Structure 1
Amino acid sequence: MEKKVTYSLSKEERIRKGHDFKYVFESGKSLGGATVALYFILKNSGQPRAGFIASKRFSKRAVDRNRAKRLMKEVFRLNKHKLYPCDIVFIARKGMKGASYFQVEEDFLKLARRAGILREKEC
């Protein structure tokens, strides 16, 4: 029987608590790309979860920060079925300001492959 892929982003699939973010930052590993930086830690079971950060250092304008978070959420939402169980924190970088969805997705997939959290064989 095939596993059904859902493309929603539920509360259980997001990192929302401060102590969860802190755990990933302190215990996890990090990689950086042109548009996004990733902090990640592998888990034994469950589903991938993600948190999203676009600080004022990224942009003073809330419009830019919100767009960056929307882009990162969309990239995670459409690619989460390709990931091993892990916690990921996305951090927007300056290169994301004028970037398209496809540039952010390409950057994320490249980083996920380097990190070893991307399943090479799709589900």
Structure 2
Amino acid sequence: MEKKITFTFSSEERIRKSRDFKYVFESGKSLGGSTMALYFILKESGKPRAGFIASKRFSKRAVDRNRAKRLMREVFRLNKHRLLPCDIVFIAKKGMNGASYREVEEDFLKLASKAGILKD
């Protein structure tokens, strides 16, 4: 029987607590691309979870920070079925300001492949 792929983004798939962010930052590994940085840590089982950060250092304008988080959320939502169980923290970089969805997705897939968190 085939496993049905869902493209929702439920609350179980989000990293919200500061202790979870701290755990990924301290225990995980990091990689940087042109539009984002990723901190990640593999898990034994479960679903991939993600947290998103776009600080004032990225942009002083809230509209730019919100767009960056929306882009990163959408990239995760549409590609989570390709990921191994892991916790990922996305951090927006200045290169994301004005970037298209396609550029952000290509950057994420390149980083995820380098990190070894993509399924074969």
Measure, in 2, the Cα distance between the counterparts of 1:66 and 1:113: 26
Q: Partner of 1:96 in structure 2? A: 96
Write out per-residue CA displacement over residues 12-65 of structure 1, whole angstroms, 9 at most, x where no aligned residue.
Answer: 000000000000000000000000100000000000000000000000000000
Structure 2: stretches of 5+ with no match in the other structure: none
Measure, in 2, the Cα distance between the counterparts of 1:36 and 1:6: 25
Aligned positions, number: 120
Measure, in 2, the Cα distance between the counterparts of 1:20 and 1:6: 24
Q: Partner of 2:110 in structure 1? A: 110
Measure, in 1, the Cα distance between the counterparts of 2:106 and 2:89: 17
Q: Percentage identity across aligned positions?
A: 82
TM-score by length of 1: 0.97
Measure, in 2, the Cα distance between the counterparts of 1:36 and 1:5: 26
Measure, in 2, the Cα distance between the counterparts of 1:15 and 1:106: 23
Q: Partner of 1:71 in structure 2? A: 71
Structure 1: stretches of 5+ with no match in the other structure: none
TM-score by length of 2: 0.99
Alignment of 1:43-54 (within 5 A): 43-54=43-54
Q: Partner of 1:62 in structure 2? A: 62
Measure, in 2, the Cα distance between the counterparts of 1:39 and 1:54: 14
CA RMSD for the aligned pairs? 0.3
Q: Spell out structure 1 runs of 4+ moving beyond 4 A.
A: none
Q: Partner of 2:38 in structure 1? A: 38
